[in-house]
Amino acid sequence: MNKKTIITTLLALVAMTGWAKNNFKMTGKIDGAGNDTLCVEYVILQPKKQVITHKVSVKNGAFSFSMKLREAYYGSMFLKSNPTETINTYFIPHEEAVFSGRLNEEEEHWSGTAFYQQYGRIIDIRRPFNIEFAAARTDNDSIRKLKNRDINSRKEPTYMKYIEEHPDEDATATLVVYVGYDNVLTAISKLTPEVRNGRMKTELDRTENTFTQVMKGVAARKAVKNDTITIGGQVPEPGLKDLNGNVMELKSLRGKYVVLDFWGSWCTWCIKGFPKLKEYYKKYKDRLEIVGIDCNDTAEKWAAAVKKHNVPWLHVRSEDGIAEQKFRVQGYPYKVLISPEGTVLNAYLGETEEFYQYLDSTLEQ
């Protein structure tokens, strides 16, 4: 191979590498903007959570940038000089987006390659409703709520109809979160398998998981109604199964103080709290029992987390969310302390020193 051929080959490889590094491009013109900086942000969740920010030069309102995307991301764009005016959008690999208008839902316009042509049509359908919502913000609370209810009654069936008529377009996946929380899972089910399991899969998985939990919570609240704990009241039986599939009864632990630790394998702070909870379990083991109640998890992830972190106390799992409603769980981790007689003594949200101080003052008596 002669020198000229080698140089030509190297240049070709450089060009290919450059393309590989930047598989997404966006150009645009922001109305009313002069020279500024456009901030483009999205979040990467794997292998660890990162907020990715690109700062793009804007000259007389015009901008252009490219970047490498591993998958489709939901993100935002705003001008450095005016961060309160923001639009949320999607960044899709192997596509080119063209933006025009202003950075708000009432005045944004999209075109470009296939995805952004589809997305532009969806934004056009959403725009009239967004304009109505914006106008209603100036009304007092009662009037605004009435107007918003009316807008939603017209908006949600319009969006569902579009999803039913365009289930094979990737951009249709961006519309499923706007059909009303109780219809999101139905909307996702209407997408074709190619769209559901294609390049929008990660975003759709996240949406489906979120709204599955939302609907589980709705069902649990209806099931529980007013049957929830009160400080000083008797603890209810959660009726949950342990790792062996047996129903655990709290009454079998009478005579000891009991901590109910609501957690999940997905909860970073829950896992970080295990070492100190283990210390206290060992310190007061003759008078204290701990019951880990796993929430919003699969059985497989639950069992794997218990084994991985070598958690020595009793474990059960909440499958339907009813236990969380009964015990008024406000977040995770959430700990409820029960007396040897079965009385609810106190409850604590988060990994807090106050809980351990209370445990010491109670058990050292």
pLDDT score of 14: 41
Residue 126, token pair as written in the block:
């959403």
* 139: amino acid identity, one letter: D
Virtual torsion, Cα 326, 329, 335, 337, nearest 10 deg: -30
292's enclosing H/E stretch is strand 288-294
Q: Which residues of the chain fall below pLDDT 50?
A: 4-19
Give me the domains of the chain, ranges plus CATH numbers: 22-108 (2.60.40), 113-225 (no CATH), 240-363 (3.40.30.10)
- Note the pLDDT of residue 13: 43
Instruction: Using CB atoms within 10 Å of the CB of residue 324, give its burial: 0 to 12 exposed, 13 to 18 middle, 19+ buried.
Output: buried
Q: Residues near 172 by Cβ (< 8 Å), separated by ≥ 6?
A: 118, 122, 162, 163, 166, 191, 195
The C-alpha atoms of residue 137 and residue 144 are separated, in whole angstroms, by 6
Q: Is 20 left (phi over 0), alpha (psi -120 to 50) or beta?
A: alpha
Please give the Cα distance from 91 to 23 (Å, whole number).
Answer: 10
pTM: 0.67
pLDDT, tens only, 162-212: 999 999 999 999 999 999 988 999 999 999 999 999 999 999 998 998 888
What is d(CA 73, CA 1) in angstroms, rounded to the nearest whole number? 43
Provide, rounded to the nearest whole percent, the portion of the chain with pLDDT above 70. Answer: 91
Q: What is the dihedral of CA 87, 91, 95, 100, to 10 degrees?
A: 10
Residues in the chain, overall count:
365
d(C-alpha 20, C-alpha 12), whole Å: 12
CA distance 246 to 339: 24
Backbone angles phi, psi at 344, to 5 degrees: -75, 120
Phi/psi for 47 (5° steps) reads -75, -15
Tokens 């952004």, located at residue: 116
Element counts in the chain: helices (H) and strands (E): 11, 15
200 by Cβ neighbours in 10 Å (0-12 / 13-18 / 19+) ranks as buried
